Structure 1
Amino acid sequence: ALAQLIDEGAVQEAAIFDHDGRLLAFAAGDNALLPDIPGEKQLQQVRKKGQYAGIESMPNKAMSLRVLAWVSSNSYTGKSYILQFSQAVPKQIESDAETVRAVYRDYQELTLSRRGLKRLYGITLTLSLLVVLLTAISAAFFISDRLGSSLEALAEGTRAVAQGDFTGQHPIRSRDELGALTGLFNQMTNQLADVKRASEQQQREVESAKGYLESVLTHLSSGVLALDADFRLRSVNTSAAQILDAPLHQMQRMPLQQIAERFALLNSFCQTITEAFASTSNGEWQRQIERLSRNGTQILLMRGTRLPQGSEAGYVVVFDDISHLLKAERQAAWGEVARRLAHEIKNPLTPIQLSAERLQYKLSAKLDEADARLLQRATQTIVSQVAAMKNMVTDFADYARGPVLKLTRVDVHHLIREVLGLYEANAVPITLDLRASRAEINGDATRLRQVLHNLLQNAQDALQGVAQPKIILSSEIVSGEIHLRVLDNGAGFSENVLSRAFEPYMTTKTKGTGLGLAIVKKIVEEHGGKISVNNQLDGGACVNISLPLTEEVRV
């Protein structure tokens, strides 16, 4: 049947294959030994769809038409076969097909090239977009950083200016509005810095002037008080606190009335200030007051001035302690009086004594016994009173003139024991408490003995009538000086006598000139020392003498 089909010229090749694609029969018009075996893909299409048709280029052959058909057997075996027919395509059709194929192949190549170009153009465009985007981002970051750094610098400079730092200067990086703003900011900081420097310079000058004024007031011997318009204490110097012996530095902004209430000893002082400013018409006044202080009576010379009205309105009070000045003037006056009295009284005393003794000598033999005894008593009275007056004149002379001291190295402890040897038989016991480790001074031993005798004699006189009298003589070293204290358990000094104890003719004794402590004070001051008197809390008087020690000789 296959050969018949070939002979009839219907097909060029015919072949039958089984279900698995094995060749069962074959016939060809060109005496070919084997047919073109269909591929597995073609066989699968036949099994699935029942047929296959296509124009194929056979190896080393021209183009041919291949047809595959699925044929089922009618026999009882039920086998199926695949029938293949092949027929060569005519030359003209083959040529046209080849042309179409070449065109299609070119089309495919162009299609593939188009896809590549599209991909290349897409990649190129994407890369270009990425480059542009990155460039834009970089430019944005650059511009933002440039603008942001300038703005941040201005913000930092503004914070620095707010904290008082005007030294910052920022570079001008552009000529736009931001650059102009930066330039104006730098100009502003320069002006603020100049103003700050001028203000600091002015403040330093004010502080320097204030410090100078405070230094002057601190070292000023006069006391200075500054009061506001309501008489509240604004400022006070050191001398004011020392003169008034009160913690005035702790009373600032306190009214004078409250100060007087807290410190009773300042009552008269505060009252004088208030009354003086109330009574003055020109805002200035000067007064001298006498007030009671812890160390006795104190005399103050006060001057007050009202400050001009305004923000600094108020009052200024300046005062000095003239107690020592008045005492010095009084002592100088008493010295002059004593010198003249000594001169005027001493001359007639000797003739009076000699005349009385001569009268007794001449008349005693011519009178009876009673008259002779009367003459003797009268003469003796004249002679004893003349001797007393001579002693008084001697005291006057010692007080009036300053004898030249004969300074030598004196051991005060040795001098004390030497003087106390004269008081061994005294009824009043004298206790020594010599604690000073050094006791050598430059002094006049004779004048210092006079000081010790005078003080011990005064202590004995003060203890008359005391049940258990006692005198304590002590020594100690304080700040490079030797302090001598004579203490007794008598009645002490009265308030009136305590403030004027060293004035001439100030005495509580029924007998005496009142020059003892005045002479003692003068001798102590001639030795470069100080003397003070006060009453003890448990009764009795205390005389304190401080004398400078000699420098230690180091070997």
Structure 2
Amino acid sequence: MSTTLKTNKLIIRFGYFVAVLTLLSIFILARATEGSETFQKLYLSLLITTLSGICSLFVIVLYFIYKTIKYYYLKVPGTSLSLTILSRTLLLAFIPLLFLSYFSFKFLHYEFQSSFDKGINDALTSSLTLSQKALSMRGLQALKDTQIVADIIAPFEYIALQRNLERIRKNIDAGELTVFDEKGFIQAFASIDKNTIIPLIPEHSDFIRVENRGGLFVVDRENNNFAIRVLTNINKPGAPNYYLQAVYQIPDTMSQLMQQVNKTVTERDKFNYLMPKVNSSFIFLLILVLLLGSLLLILSSFSFANDMARPIHDLIHGTKKVSQGNFDQQVFVQRQDDFGTLINSFNQMTRSLKEATEESEINRNKLESQRSYLETVINHMTAAVLTLDYQCRLLTFNESAKLLLNCQLDKVVNVDLQHIDESQVVYKTFIEQLGIDNINETSPEIEIKIDIGENVQQFVARVTPLPSTDKLHGGYVIIFYDMRQYLQQQKQAAWEEVARRLAHEIKNPLTPILLAAERLNYKLAGHLQEKEQKVLKRSIDVISNQVKSLKNMVDDFSHFAKPISLDKSNLSVHHLLKDIFELYKEHFLKTDFELSLTAKKDHILGNANSLRQVFHNLIKNAIEATEKQPIGRIEITTINEKNNLIVSISDNGIGLFDNHDVFEPYVTSKEKGTGLGLAIVKKIIQEHHGKIALNNRSDGSGVIVRLVLPLIKENE
């Protein structure tokens, strides 16, 4: 859109340049129409330039009209406002322009028609007629005077004619007197101008006319002065006719008046002849000026409308972007008017919205992180957790709660208790037995018994109200355990305490005992006989071996008693099992090992050293269980089940005794075992949020150990 705006600006600037050039051409064209000889030679070029400029402006205006109509049908923001501004601007401008055009044409018509009206034309015609009649009367009078002189000089001889001609000239106030013979040769001449040597010679046709008519007069004009030239014949008795020519000067005042009348009449006739053409030329120039003004007005209106509508277009475009969630939108228009204030306010608003959105996003991410963290913590808790709203509707739960209640809790989320169907009756019974309505603070442990099929499930629960500004909308948190699991955890804690104390009490004297035995051997070995030395050595070896055995037992006690804190990472269980498998396969050749890793996903979040200890312990137990078999067989398999990795280790050994809890601390079937190995294994598996089960195989030959480990999530 910015490219289009730049293009429109360039076109408008070009239009203004063309308008100025065309206006200059019209001005020069007007000077040429007025009669300026300097510009009359360029008239055609100026006319072509003017028409080309007007056509160019017309094309530019058509371009903007097309663009505006196109944008209007495309519903481009700001086009409606642009059309409104354009129409009103043109309406306000064209009404005065129409009045101006009307009165301009009226004025031109009135000016040319009233400059020379009929009265002035009649006066000029009368003046011309009067001057012509005055000249005619003066010519007739001069002809009469000249004929009288011809009669007087008719009898004169040549000498007398030469002597009296000047005097006669003066008497009749003539400028020149000339006598011609029958052949037109000069016989006598007299002139008021002594410098004139040769008189004016009449045409041959003039002599013929005099013969036919007896005389003539002609009005001559020389150097803006009028003169009457008269030619008549002289009748000489008994001789051929002579001719007399007389020239009479018209007075200067009369000559000037007659000249002025003739000039005015000539100009009037010329003006009357040129008036339609001049009138048409000025009307044509006026039309050109009006066309130029109209096109320039339309072009300026488009420029003004676009300039006024562009901020609205940018604001509408920006508003749409903001409504779509793009708060980076900024309108860059440098204006100092109200539009500038509005645009600055819009930009400030988008910046504020962006800051608020970013802050909201940060807070949302924090809440999401906290929610994910809390969800992870709750889901990895061994205890079952439920959260209810103030109307005892289920909001959230963890996997342990789902397993303990053996219900599809996702189907009862946000469902009132009275609307829960019979398939989820265990959950409904559990909530009803809690008696939440009467709990205002953290409750003591509540024992709940629920019949699940043929079994009776016992739970220990604790209810805590959630804080709220409105007690009715606080909700509740319920933490509960399986009673058996709860008792087992307490028992586990007691055994850990026993192991910790035993390890502490036994470990302290072991080192002094070992040192004392070695010192006895060192002090007495050189003072005893050979037989006694053998007895001493055997006794010292027994003491050392027993001390080392006690140390191993103390280490097992310590490892069992201390809390397990594991550094976990992305771990491939298949890779770990392959390493352990190769190790045992090379060292225990009498045992048949089989590895079947069919799980497609085997990556978990775990500690390699701890899991290696688990697998070593389980495989070692399997090897010991198959020692009495002719051919020992151990099979390790993996499969995927939902989001878990299932690792199974089976053997063909002696199997388990009935009612024998192998994960119970200090319970063992081995002669030299401490009974802590499987207890430690279970503890490590639980730290990996997994489960372990150890059962006899279905065919009664050996044991199968089943490990359930959660697969790593994609975003971890």
- TM-score interval, smaller chain: 0.3 to 0.5
TM-score if structure 1 supplies the norm length? 0.46
Higher helix share: 2
Higher strand share: 1
Q: Which has the higher contact order (CA 8 A, sep 6+)?
A: 2
